Amino acid sequence: MGGDKAMDETKRNHYSGRFAYHGLDRVLHEKARLGIMTSLMTHADGLLFNDLKELCSLTDGNLSRHLQTLAEASLVEIWKSSSAGRSQTLCRLTETGCQRFASYVTALERVVRDAAAAEKGWDAEDGSMPSGWVAT
């Protein structure tokens, strides 16, 4: 019987922080910034400000504020140009932005796998319910 308690402790240590999802980056884990990053990830050469604004359904001010946050985190770069008296802004992901976003997506995939496994059982790794528990 003492072995069961040791097993429970081992299992507890193994699962400690299992659902903390440390890879969910707070800078990226915001609806508008998630849309911006996804849009830019799918357009490697970048997007003009107005195109990005339309894709993400954001206002000028809202997009500017989120881009500033992402630029301060070195996730996006913002380029300005002026042609024929008209200024344009180009936004694109930095190499760091691509890497951090890919890591973030991997963490989100883990959340989705865990949630899907929860529909089938208690434990996302083996699908089992702890003994003595009955679904109600």
Q: What CATH number is given to the structural domain containing 89? A: 1.10.10.10
% of the chain beyond a pLDDT of 90: 55
Mean pLDDT for the chain overall: 85
* Class of residue 135 by CB neighbours under 10 A (exposed 0-12, middle 13-18, buried 19+): exposed
100 is written with which tokens? 């951090």
pLDDT band at 34, cuts 50/70/90?
Answer: very high
pLDDT of residue 23: 78
Sort strands 86-93 and 47-48 into parallel, antiparallel or unpaired.
Answer: antiparallel
In-domain check, residue 6: no
In-domain check, residue 35: yes
In-domain check, residue 1: no
The residue type of 133 is W
In-domain check, residue 5: no
Averaged pLDDT, 70-81: 97
Q: CB-based contacts of 103: which residues, under 8 Å, 6+ apart?
A: 23, 25
In-domain check, residue 111: yes
Total domains in the chain come to: 1
N residues, the chain: 136
> What is the distance between the alpha carbons of residues 120 and 62, in angstroms, rounded to a whole number?
40
Averaged pLDDT, 66-94: 94
Q: Which residues pair with 48 in a beta bridge?
A: 90
Where do the DSSP E strands lie in the chain? 47-48, 76-83, 86-93
In-domain check, residue 19: no
In-domain check, residue 52: yes
What is the enclosing helix (H) or strand (E) of 55?
helix 49-56
Q: Are the beta carbons of 104 and 25 closer than 8 angstroms? A: yes
Range of the domain at 58: 24-117
Q: What three-state secondary structure class fits 6? A: helix
In-domain check, residue 129: no
pLDDT of residue 19: 79
